[in-house]
Chains A and B, each alone.
Chain A
Amino acid sequence: MNWTTIAARMQRISDHSNAWRQRVRRVRRRLVLFLAVVGPGVITSNANNESGGIYTYSLAGAQFGYAVLWILVPMGIALYVTEEMCARMGTVTGKGLSDLIREEFGFRVTFFLMAALLVVNFGNVLAEFAGVASAMELWGVSKYISVPVAAVLVWVLVLQGTSRWLEKIFMAVCLVYLTYIASAVLAKPQWLVAVLNLLPTPALHWIPQLKPWVKAPEFSTAYLLIVAGLLGATIAPWQHFYLQAAVVENSSRFGGVRPRRSCRGRRGR
């Protein structure tokens, strides 16, 4: 074997490994892109399960049992439609929701909307801290300790953390929600009843054969209040603003591109 054949063979090996490296890089890019798109969605839908939501859902379940289940279906569809709309608007325009509202509906509408959002968000924050207090008291930690600690923690995260970093933390926290599946099984529900009650019960209970399982809701004030609460807890305003902002941010971060090199370029000629 002479040197030229060895060199040729070496060349072939290095070509091969280069091609392989490129393939790996391409797959990784696609994966990153996929996560960038999925991330905000997962976070939004899971962040929806905050303490306010848990209160409302458990209250609804405790008061009305299976009779509130059917609401989840239309509510889920409504949630899907609105959030998908926000994601689309973010992708197409590259602008945030409040920017678009202002451009389309003018200053005054936006102002009152934002003022309302501020109030609602404040209420939301209160509910979160109430959640921290009651959750930590389950572990025997006084609320006078847990709430200030949580407040400082949130403060630091918001002021010091970058949005990328925060997203990673949120993603990790989202894993906690896997326990929901386990607890649903452990609660030993009557699965058949549960499934049947997912169908629109107000219409269904007229079928006599289903009567033993499907209970028609009585449209009392308490029931309607709970329904409104469920809607409010599920389709919360902040999440649409967050989702759209995250989509805008991520599509500029990964708009088909690998982030790379200088934080700012250099001067041209």
Chain B
Amino acid sequence: MLHATELLGAEAYDAQGIFVGRVTELFIEPADQPNRVARLLLGREKYQPLVVRYDQVGFVAPGTVRLIVEEGQLEHYRPNEAWLAVQKDLLDQQIIDTNGRKVVRVNDIDLAEQRTNGTVELRVTLVDVGLTGAVRRLLQGLAPPSVIRRIQQKLPTKQIQWEFVNLIEPDPLRRVKLRITHQKLERLHPADLADIMEELSPAERESIIASVDDETAAEALAELDARLTAQIVEKMDPEKAADIIEEMEPDAAADVLAGLTPEASQEVLSEMPREEAQEVRELLEFDESTAGGMMNSDFVLVGEAATRDEVVEWIRGKDVNLEQVDTVIVIDGQARLSGVVAVARLLLAGGEQALAELKSEPLVSVRAEAEEKEVFELFDKYNLRSLSVVDEDGRPMGSITVDDVVTRLCKRN
């Protein structure tokens, strides 16, 4: 095994044993093979630098590279955007560890040697983000490699497998050329992705939001710090912003839009489908510190006479966020709130039981104008998981779920 920093600065000799130059950069060609060191750059002081292809290398050791060709057969270096430069693009830069779900800085890169009939290929295996890499970087050139290696054996290692490394490249064109996708990020929990984004610079945050799918972007933005969310959305093309915000729950969408300037918010709303925009607009009307400002207008609403089976069937056919459905709201003949049914009760009820029989007692609801403090007290008093919000005629307008309450309470402290 070899470290990239042991190779940088190494002396390169050609097939005749003549000194050619020093290795100044390692290039990976992700479009070809994602982990192979495809090219070595040889710096030659006042002469033009040369490029060594992976199949021209015969021997590699810390500080030395031997080629199997002569100097004349090497190409001159021309910058190539599709090459990932180990020194420039990786060492000391931030990357996302998709397995450990955090942002880390690269200290060194571990390379494995692969011998095939007379040539040596180098493959990137691990990224060193711990103390071992740091110590090596510090001592390199000051102490002999054998001493450094001995010190390292006693240090704890902190490495990430190359497959779990997600590079951060703000430039979209370069991202395409380097085949950087953020598919791995789409599999993270949105809260983790939001944490990761908070550690990055604005340009990098924007690049991540721009390159993941709309659904992931929506989930991550809803979890992100409200100020950062607003910052990202305001820079976005309104059409794209509308696509992403459409994917959010109406209450989360209202939160995001409320953080924007009125002009930007109007622009995004005008790009959204009319029905959804209307829903969000209504939520925006409420003062943020009232029950109306907390509620979600997406909820499951059924009539009293409906049976358990009918309701379950109906929920199945509807596009709702299942993780958010804690209760089903029941209305009477005048569309007034008549009760709520916990989903757990629905689970255990007989198929033909009418919802009217399953209602939780007592019926607790709150007016949209109620202060948030009142909402907190109701949640506390009745151990609620969700609370219905009604208008002056007692008709349900939305519901507040316990996660909204937790968010508010954590903000107050």
Contact A265 B93 (CB under 8 A): no
Instruction: Given A261-B258, A268-B215, A268-B218, decide whether A111 and B138 contact each other with a Cβ distance below 8 A.
Output: yes
- Given A107-B107, A265-B224, A267-B252, does the pair A257, B230 have CB atoms closer than 8 Å? yes
- For chain A residues 224-269, which have a beta carbon within 8 Å of chain B? 251-269
Partner of A266, one of B225, B251, B258, B288: B251
Asked if A269 contacts B223 (CB within 8 A), the reply is no
- Whole-angstrom distance between the Cβ of A25 and the nearest chain B Cβ: 9
Residues of A within 8 A of B194 (CB): 264
CB <8 Å contact, A108 and B138: yes
CB–CB B255/A269 < 8 A: no
Contact status B411-A263, CB under 8 Å: yes
Residues of B within 8 A of A111 (CB): 134, 137-138
Cβ–Cβ contact A263 & B225, under 8 A: yes
Whole-angstrom distance between the alpha carbons of A254 and B93 in the complex? 26
Q: Are the CB atoms of B227 and A265 closer together than 8 Å?
A: no
* CB pair A266 B262 closer than 8 Å: no
Of the 9-residue stretches B69-77, B349-357, B387-395, B400-408, which lies at the interface with chain A? B400-408
Q: Is the CB of A106 within 8 A of B91?
A: yes
Q: Please state if B226 and A269 are interface contacts (CB–CB under 8 Å).
A: no
B7 CB-CB contact with A under 8 Å:
no
B271, CB-defined interface residue at 8 Å? no
Interface residues in B248-272 by Cβ distance below 8 A to A read 248-249, 251-252, 255-256, 258-262
A107–B92 touching, CB < 8 Å: yes
CB neighbours of B288 from chain A (8 A) = 260-261
Q: Please indicate the chain B residues that have their CB under 8 angstroms from the CB of A253 in the complex.
A: 227
Cross-chain contact B231 with A257 (CB below 8 angstroms)? yes
Enumerate B179-205 residues with CB–CB distance to A below 8 Å.
190-191, 194, 200-204
Q: Check A263 against B107 for contact (C-beta < 8 Å).
A: no
A94 at the interface (CB under 8 A from B): yes
> Could you say which of A106, A107, A252, A261 contacts B259, with CB atoms under 8 Å apart?
A261
CB-based contact A266/B403 at 8 Å: yes
Bound Cα distance A267, B200 (Å): 21
Q: How far is the CB of A26 from chain B (nearest CB, A)?
A: 8
Interface residue from B190, B202, B225, B407 paired with A268 (Cβ < 8 Å)? B190
Contact yes or no, B138 A266, CB < 8 A: no
Q: Indicate whether B105 reaches chain A with its CB closer than 8 angstroms.
A: yes
Q: Which residues from B are CB-within-8-Å of A255?
A: 202, 227, 230-231, 234
User: What residue in chain B is nearest A260 (Cβ atoms)?
Assistant: B259
B121 interface residue per 8 A CB criterion:
no
Chain B residues with CB under 8 A of A264: 191, 194, 223-225, 407, 410
B226 touches A263 (CB 8 A): yes
Within 8 A of A (CB), among B279-330: 288, 296, 321, 323-324
**Chain B contacts of A121 at CB under 8 A?**
none
Nearest CB on A from B187, distance (A): 16
Question: In the complex, what residues of A have CB within 8 A of residue B222's CB?
Answer: 265-268
Could you give 7 example pairs across A and B, Cβ below 8 Å? A94-B203, A103-B93, A111-B138, A255-B230, A261-B258, A266-B255, A268-B249
| B interface with A by C-beta (< 8 Å) | 91-93, 105, 107, 134, 137-138, 140, 190-191, 194, 200-204, 215, 218-219, 221-231, 234, 247-249, 251-252, 255-256, 258-262, 288, 296, 321, 323-324, 403-404, 407-408, 410-411
5 closest A-B pairs (Cβ-Cβ)? A94-B201, A263-B411, A265-B222, A107-B137, A257-B230
